[in-house]
């Protein structure tokens, strides 16, 4: 044993002694204090959420009183006349987020499968860190890239193609502006891929090797192993990842505002400009001149909060359901 | 080398001295409009060199926020691109004075392949386009003023600001003034219900959209259009002349308004008389209480305002703001003498 190791041993021994001293000195009261502190931290988070909700609810009282349910069902948003109906914003938020999720999920799950199951370890690691790098890019940079690169491409190449070949569908009608629902869906899709990919990857890494080996032993191909052993095991986790992606999608503000065209209308066409709830808040809050206007924007914020809560609750139930099903007989 | 070190030391000493006095001196807080932020911060920087005992802190949170904060008296002065309504003035706990500082103008920019800068537009053209009534570039109403310009038979793509802004307030003020239909259907405000077109966020959003979209038209702030060398339209003014948007023609709009300027400066500068007056222009104002609660701050504020009217105005044009015309400066000097 050389000197370095001896030193380390001594250090470890003395640390153990210290620990023992602490425990014997007052273990019970120390535990209690620690429990109280952590409880305090946990409660403070609930309190913050509660205070935010109450604050927003109080601020939206004037709009709630004035418009009632018509706030959600009305489609007329006119700050000059003081009439506010939020339906086009709610529509825009829901449609853009859902379409982005539908587009992003196969891409993200496929990437995660490649990283964990197919690629050599080094290549997988490199791709994983590149994907995580995507998550580190600020929203406004995505927006600028959207305006300068993606929108001209959509406007000159993609949208004319869609109009020419699929123009008979109501989803691809109208003039190719570049900005609009399609641009928003694409930018949200790119922004939520990293979060879905990295969580799915973590989930897939927890699949026991024994399960995969069992499948391989039965003569399964790589695809069959993934389909029968890997995906069923990770189902609830992947669903959770998708829902977290949806949470991010619906709250995404800056990049969406820069590419969606900011026109409060309800249209089936993906080429038409639209508007989302976070975008109208970001656009109009700073210069909202009347109390009713800022109150209406607050109410939109409140609706957004409630919607996010509902999404999360639904997701919880879904995940529990899948987990129970998996426990009952989803295994091979 | 020696000189460099000496300069650095002197500069450092100056900074320390400034920081020291600022800590001990008067701090005057303001909040409001984003549009005049560059010129205001330039003024406050320059003024810090002249009077080291006072420091200005300006938060550009938007005109709406500025009005709210000065009404709640959480700041010493407010700033706004729109003047207060009678109701808003009544809501304030004291008598609020509007002090016009500089002017801005709104430029109509467009992207029509084959049409160079300087397209001539009348007030009816501009309001017709934004109402969605003039939908083709080769509309006879546009063509009438532009003989020799080959206007394409293409639909006009209208772009407007999506975020609430003083630029939109000036532009919709203009449209409401020249078009009774606009006034009744849409009205004026920092954000309105647009009858036509797409929304871009900020001047850069509108300009970017116009740049990539052939056959589009949009409106941006004068300074932004100049800095980015955007093509712009000349607009027919009240005297029937087509005026190029510029700092000079914006100042001319205020000079035209001076003859019937109300004592509280709550006046719109759009569509003013004068052969050189550009029709889409507006003041930006500081909002100050006539009776200052803190007399020391009040005195310092008035001293600054005097300096701003004498010396500060010369700093406006390089930053692409239009300075006040001399006749308006004389009026404002009298007004600020009344602040106690």
Domain over B105-259 is classified CATH 3.40.50.2020: no
ipTM of the complex: 0.76
Interchain contact B162–A (C-beta under 8 A): yes
* pLDDT at residue B64, as a whole number: 82
Query: Which residues of chain A are at the B interface, by a Cβ-Cβ cutoff of 8 Å?
Result: 76-81, 147-148, 151-152, 155, 175, 177-179, 257-258, 261-263, 273, 275, 279, 282-289, 294
Q: How many CA atoms lie within 13 A of B18 on its CB side?
A: 15
Which of B157, B188, B190 is nearest residue A177 as measured by Cβ atoms?
B157
Query: Which one of A142, A287, A290, A293 makes the best mutation probe of the B interface by having the most chain B beta carbons within 10 Å?
Result: A287
Report the pLDDT averaged over residues A140-165: 90
DSSP 8-state symbol, A172: G
3 state DSSP class of A276:
coil
Q: Considering chain A, what percentage of its residues have pLDDT values greater than 70?
A: 88
Of B63, B164, B188, nearest to A284 by CB-CB distance is B164
Instruction: Identify whether the C-beta of residue B215 lies closer than 8 Å to the C-beta of residue B137.
Output: yes
Interface probe with B: pick from A289, A293, A294, most Cβ of B within 10 Å: A289
Residue of A nearest to B208 (CA): A147
Nearest-CB residue to B65 (from A257, A273, A286): A286
Q: Which of B33, B64, B65 to mutate to test the interface with A (most CBs of A within 10 A)?
A: B64
Which residues on A lie below 8 Å from B163 (Cβ)? 282-284, 286-287
pTM for the complete prediction?
0.81
User: Testing the interface with A: which of B201, B206, B214, B218 to mutate, by most A Cβ within 10 A?
Assistant: B201
Quick check: B323 contacting A, CB < 8 Å?
no
User: Which chain B residues are Cβ-neighbours of A284 within 8 angstroms?
Assistant: 163-164, 191
> Do the chains contact at B190 and A79, CB–CB below 8 Å?
yes
Q: Name chain A contacts of B157, Cβ cutoff 8 Å.
A: 175, 177
Residues in chain A, overall count: 332
Domain with CATH 3.40.190.10 in chain B: 2-103+282-336, 105-259
Average pLDDT over residues A59-71: 92
B152 CB within 8 Å of a chain A CB: no
pLDDT for residue A12: 61
- Residue of B186, B201, B213 lying closest to A283 (CB–CB): B201
pLDDT for res B88:
87
Angle at B327 between CA B322 and CA B331, to 5 degrees: 105
Q: CB under 8 Å to B66, separation ≥6 — which residues?
A: B30, B31, B32, B33, B75, B78, B79, B80, B287
- Across the interface, whether the CB atoms of A80 and B163 are under 8 A apart is answered no
Q: Average pLDDT, stretch A6-29?
A: 61
Cα B206 from Cα B192, distance rounded (Å): 16
Please tell me the least confidently modeled range out of A182-196, A219-233, B100-114. A219-233
Who among A76, A179, A285 is closest to B198 (CB)? A179
For A71-331, CATH number out of 3.40.50.300, 3.40.630.30, 1.10.3720.10, 3.30.1490.190 equals 1.10.3720.10
Buried-exposed string B139-170: b where 16+ CB fall within 10 A, e elsewhere: beebeebbeebebeeeebbbbbbbbbbbbbbb
Would the CB atoms of A286 and B163 count as touching at under 8 Å?
yes
pLDDT of residue B251: 92
User: Which residue from B157, B189, B212 is facing A151, i.e. has the nearest CB?
Assistant: B212
CB contact under 8 A, A175 and B166: no
- Nearest by CB to A177, which of B61, B186, B213? B213
Cβ distance of B192 and A175 shorter than 8 Å: no
In angstroms, the CA A142 to CA A145 distance is: 5
- B185 at A interface, C-beta within 8 A: no
**Residue of B62, B165, B189 lying closest to A80 (CB–CB):** B189
Give the CA distances from residue B249 to residues B109, B182, B273, B331, in Å, rounded to whole numbers and listed in that order: 17, 25, 12, 20
Do B172 and B213 form a contact (C-beta atoms < 8 A)?
no
Chain A CB contacts of B197 below 8 Å:
263
Distance to chain B for A68, nearest Cα, Å: 21
Q: Say how far apart CA B270 and CA B105 lie, in whole Å.
A: 9
Phi then psi dihedrals of residue A114, to 5 deg? -60, -45
Beta bridge partners of B44: none
CA distances for B179 relative to A58, B129, B130, B176, B192, angstroms: 39, 12, 11, 5, 15
Chain-centroid distance of CA A264 in Å reads 24
CB B206, CB B161: distance < 8 Å: yes
Q: How many CB pairs under 8 A join A and B?
A: 94
CA distance, residue B210 to nearest chain A CA (Å): 10
Q: Give the model's pLDDT for residue B47.
A: 93
What is the C-alpha to C-alpha distance for residues A66 and A293, in angstroms, rounded to an integer?
11
The interface residues of chain B toward chain A in range 45-64, judged by CB-CB distance below 8 A, are 61-64
Whether A263 sits inside 8 A of B82 (CB atoms) is no
Kindly determine whether residue B198 and residue A294, on different chains, have CB atoms separated by under 8 Å: no
What's the CATH number for B2-103+282-336?
3.40.190.10
pLDDT score, position B17:
46
> Whole-number mean pLDDT of chain A?
86
Per-residue model confidence as pLDDT tens for chain B (340 residues): 455 555 555 555 554 444 444 445 889 999 998 889 999 999 999 999 999 999 999 998 888 889 989 999 999 999 998 888 888 899 899 999 999 999 999 999 999 999 999 999 999 999 999 999 999 999 999 999 999 899 999 999 999 999 988 899 999 999 999 999 999 999 998 889 999 899 998 888 899 889 888 899 999 999 889 888 899 999 999 999 999 999 999 999 988 888 888 889 998 899 999 999 999 999 999 999 999 988 889 999 999 999 999 999 999 999 999 999 998 999 999 999 988 8
């Amino acid at each position: 044993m050389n000197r370095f190791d001896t030193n380390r041993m001594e250090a470890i021994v003395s640390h153990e002694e210290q620990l023992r001293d602490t425990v014997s000195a007052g273990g019970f009261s120390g535990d209690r204090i620690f429990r109280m502190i952590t409880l305090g931290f946990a409660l403070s988070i609930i309190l913050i959420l509660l205070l935010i909700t109450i604050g927003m609810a109080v601020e939206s009282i004037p709009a709630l009183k004035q418009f009632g349910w018509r706030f959600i069902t009305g489609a007329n948003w006119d700050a000059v006349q003081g009439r506010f109906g939020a339906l086009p914003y709610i529509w825009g938020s829901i449609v853009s987020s859902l379409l982005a999720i539908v587009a992003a999920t196969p891409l993200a799950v496929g990437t995660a499968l490649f990283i964990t199951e197919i690629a050599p370890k080094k290549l997988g690691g490199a791709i994983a860190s590149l994907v995580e790098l995507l998550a580190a890019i600020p929203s406004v940079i995505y927006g600028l890239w959207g305006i300068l690169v993606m929108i001209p491409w959509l406007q000159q190449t993609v949208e004319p193609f869609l109009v020419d070949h699929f123009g008979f569908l109501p989803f691809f009608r109208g003039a190719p502006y570049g900005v609009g629902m399609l641009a928003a869906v694409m930018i949200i899709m790119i922004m939520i891929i990293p979060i879905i990919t990295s969580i799915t990857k973590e989930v897939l890494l927890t699949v026991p090797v024994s399960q995969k080996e069992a499948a391989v032993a039965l003569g399964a191909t790589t695809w069959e192993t993934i389909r029968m052993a890997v995906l069923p095991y990770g189902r609830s986790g992947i669903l959770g990842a998708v829902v977290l992606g949806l949470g991010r999608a619906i709250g995404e503000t800056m990049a969406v505002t820069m590419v969606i065209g900011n026109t409060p209308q309800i249209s089936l066409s993906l080429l038409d400009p639209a508007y989302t709830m976070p975008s109208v808040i970001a656009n109009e809050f700073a210069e909202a001149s009347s109390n009713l206007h800022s109150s209406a924007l607050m109410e939109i914020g409140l609706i957004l909060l409630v919607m996010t809560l509902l999404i999360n609750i639904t997701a919880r139930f879904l995940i529990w359901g899948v987990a129970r099903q998996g426990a009952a007989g989803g295994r091979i | 080398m020696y000189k460099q070190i000496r300069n650095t030391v002197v500069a450092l000493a100056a900074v320390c001295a400034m920081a020291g006095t600022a800590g001990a001196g008067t701090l005057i807080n303001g909040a409001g409009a984003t549009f005049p932020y560059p010129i205001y911060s330039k003024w406050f920087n320059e003024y810090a060199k002249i009077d080291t005992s006072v420091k200005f802190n300006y938060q550009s949170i938007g005109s709406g926020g500025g009005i709210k904060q000065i009404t709640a008296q959480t700041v010493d002065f407010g700033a706004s691109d729109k003047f207060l309504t009678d109701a808003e003035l009544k809501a304030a706990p004291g008598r609020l004075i509007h002090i016009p500082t500089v002017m801005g103008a709104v430029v109509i920019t467009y992207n029509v392949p084959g049409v160079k800068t300087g397209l001539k537009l009348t007030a009816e053209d501009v309001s017709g386009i934004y109402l969605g009534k003039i939908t083709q570039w080769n509309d006879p109403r546009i063509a009438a003023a532009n003989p020799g310009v080959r206007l394409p038979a293409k639909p006009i793509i209208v772009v407007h600001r999506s975020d609430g802004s003083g630029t939109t307030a000036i532009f919709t003020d203009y449209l409401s003034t020249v078009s009774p239909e606009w006034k009744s259907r849409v009205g004026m405000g920092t954000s309105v219900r647009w009858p036509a077109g797409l929304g871009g966020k900020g001047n850069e959003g509108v300009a970017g959209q116009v740049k990539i979209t052939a056959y589009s038209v949009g409106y941006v702030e004068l300074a932004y259009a100049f800095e980015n060398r955007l093509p712009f339209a000349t607009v027919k003014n009240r005297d029937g002349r087509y005026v190029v948007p510029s700092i000079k023609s914006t100042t001319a709009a205020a000079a035209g308004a001076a003859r019937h300027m109300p004592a509280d400066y709550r006046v719109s500068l759009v569509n003013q008389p004068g052969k050189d007056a550009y029709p889409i222009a507006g003041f930006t104002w500081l909002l100050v209480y006539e009776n200052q609660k803190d007399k020391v701050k009040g005195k310092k504020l008035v001293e600054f305002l005097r300096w701003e009217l004498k010396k500060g105005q010369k700093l406006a044009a390089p930053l692409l703001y239009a300075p006040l015309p001399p006749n308006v400066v004389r009026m404002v000097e009298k007004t600020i003498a009344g602040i106690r």
